[in-house]
Structure 1
Amino acid sequence: MIDRYRWWEIIGIYAGIFVFLFFMLSPFIEGFLVSLKPLSQLFSTPYSFWPENGSFKAYFTMWESVPGFARYIFNSFLISTIATVIVLLLVVPAAYAFARFSFRGMGLVLAAFLAVSMFSGAVLLIPLFRLMRTLGMLNTYWAMIVPGAAFLIPAAIWLLRTYMMRIPKELNEAAYMDGASQFYTFRRVILPIARPGIIVVAIMTFIGAYSQQFVFALTFNSKTEYMPLPIGLFAYFGKQEVIWNELMAASFVGIAPALILIFFLQRYLVGGLTAGAVKQ
């Protein structure tokens, strides 16, 4: 039987949670308050944390400061969605193979995936640029989709493989005894069970693709119509000043699609992260 917490232990737990949430959420709270302040108030002395005469004006003027900002958001969402679909199409069968079959050199291949995920995309910009130029992908969406998906695949394989290893192998054996092929077992038995884990990988991949587009866009693209959200945010940095309130407003508007996606898929996210925590 689990003992109940004493009163000072409960206070300590809630105090720890409060401190953790404060440091996690304080940058977002400060950024939101900055978006409500007039630009002149941001540099006043002494600095005021709470906005005086705050308004949502920056959320309307931001569209005028950077024309076509909606296109930047659409481009980021499109690039992230396509990259996520490509990653899932490659990662799901690969993770199943690494989780269910044993073959020579499997450990070496997994170690290579782990090593590749440690490299920064900036290290490989020059060879990637030459590759994109050879393939004719410069100044296209694919110049950001292909490298982004390539860097996200190794971590996705490791994450989904760990999830699929928790699925009992007896399910494969039972399906085999009933005459099912490996592909039928994978499609009709394993995939429905692994759906929470696949959704977790999809969310992580989408967020990763949404946040890593700045370097690839600057290097492989020079056309405004293909630029993603980070380039649009960079446009608020002027030669003489930075429009901080509009920059913060644009940041919150830009991350809204990712937040909406996580909101609707959060029950799958929690289910996938906690699956296997208890013995069935």
Structure 2
Amino acid sequence: MARKNTDTRAMIDRYRWWEVMAIYAGIFVFLFFLLSPFIEGFLVSLKPLSQLFSSPYRFWPENGSFKAYSTMWDSVPAFGWYIFNSFLISTVATIIVLLLVVPAAYAFARFEYAGMALVLGGFLAVSMFSGAVLLIPLFRLMRTLGLLNTYFAMIVPGVAFLIPSAIWLLRTYMMRIPVELNEAAYMDGASQFYTFRRVILPIAMPGIVVVAITTFIGAYAQQFIFALTFNSKTEYMPLPVGLFAYFGKQDVIWNELMAASFVGIAPALIIIFFLQRYLVGGLTAGAVKQ
């Protein structure tokens, strides 16, 4: 028992005091650069317009209020509908991506065939392209298919650009699942589909949740360029276009723009908050050898 306590104590105290201070200092610097834009944006949403360009600049708002959070709805009356559209587009895109990616990632993780490395490399190459590079051919394709001014004009390109990275992420997770599980199920007479549905899917659920969250965030963030190009109807416009409405010809209502930004990202933050334990579990799964 004494030996075990000594080993545990040595593991806990393996860092010196100055090393611990350096670690916490590095974490503080990282969090500062990560969170400072959000903090500054929130404080801007509390400031009156007269204070935004005052000299000298004041970091903390004087007589700050949440007035911009109520007046922003008057500046863009359809703002609530824009949020709904963004949430709908991201949700549908995430569902379609999962339906296509989960079986594809399982196939890439379990089966070997000629040219598989080339196909995976092609997926990786496609994910490096920006949607702006393919706007003209995508516009012609959407027009030919009759999808302009519809939700699918933003869902279909979004799904196409999200699938490659999702396959790579989920394939890596499924490769960590022991192949002996498939062999044991096969010895018991289970088919490939039954093994995939009843054995692999429950184990891979943390990884699937990670892919779902990253896909939802990606679909939520990439809607501006597609909506601005493929849609001209207000009833189908997503949130980024609604935020773009705050940029007037002469000036920008910065406090209302920041308030609308925080309200707009609230659905994504709520989803991440409730699914964070699955996110952490999926990202760290397989890091420790069992």
Residue 179 (str. 1) matches residue 189 (str. 2): yes
Render the CA deviation track for 1:55-106: whole Å, top value 9, x for unaligned: 0000000000011100000000000000000000000000000000001110
Structure 1 residue aligned with 2:136: 126
Q: Deviations over 1:174-228 (max 9, x none)?
A: 0000000000000000000000000000000000000000000011000011000
**Distance across 1 between alignment mates of 2:53 and 2:129:** 39
Matched, 1:29 2:13: no
Superposition deviation, residue 269 in structure 1:
0.1
Aligned partners of 1:264 and 1:65: how far apart in 2? 31
TM-score, with normalisation over the residues of structure 1?
A: 0.99
Aligned to 1:217: 227
Cα displacement (A) at 1:7? 1.2
Question: Using the alignment, how far apart are the partners of 1:8 and 1:162 within structure 2?
Answer: 37
Query: Which amino acid is 1:168 matched to?
Result: P
Which residue of 1 is the match for residue 280 of structure 2? 270
| Residue ranges of structure 1 left out of the alignment (5+ in a row) | none
Percent pairwise identity: 88
2:205 to 195, 202, 212: 195
CA distance in 1, matches of 2:17, 2:108: 48
Q: Say yes or no: does 1:142 pair with 2:152.
A: yes
Provide the secondary structure at the position in 2 that maps to 1:194: helix
Q: Give unmatched runs, 5+ long, in structure 2.
A: 1-6
SS at match of 1:49: coil
Q: Which of 41, 54, 58 is equivalent to 2:68?
A: 58
Question: Deviations 1:216-264 (Å, cap 9, x if unpaired)?
Answer: 0011000011000000000000111100000000000000000000000
Match of 1:164 among 174, 177, 191: 174
1-structure distance, mates of 2:245, 2:30: 33
Distance in 2 (alpha carbons) for counterparts of 1:52 and 1:78: 38
Task: Give 1:10's aligned residue.
Answer: 20
Is 1:258–2:268 an aligned residue pair?
A: yes
SS in 1 for 2:190: coil
Specify the code of the residue in structure 2 equivalent to 1:268. Y
Provide the C-alpha distance between the structure 2 equivalents of 1:7 and 1:168, rounded to a whole number of angstroms: 41
1:243 corresponds in structure 2 to 253
Moved over 2 A (4+): 1-4
Deviation of residue 4 (structure 1)?
A: 2.5
2:79 aligns with 69
Say which of 93, 109, 118 aligns to 1:99. 109
CA–CA distance in structure 2, aligned partners of residues 22 and 209 of structure 1? 27
Q: Distance in 1 between matches of 2:50 and 2:246?
A: 16
Aligned residues between the structures? 280
The aligned runs of 1:30-45 (5 Å cut-off) are 30-45=40-55
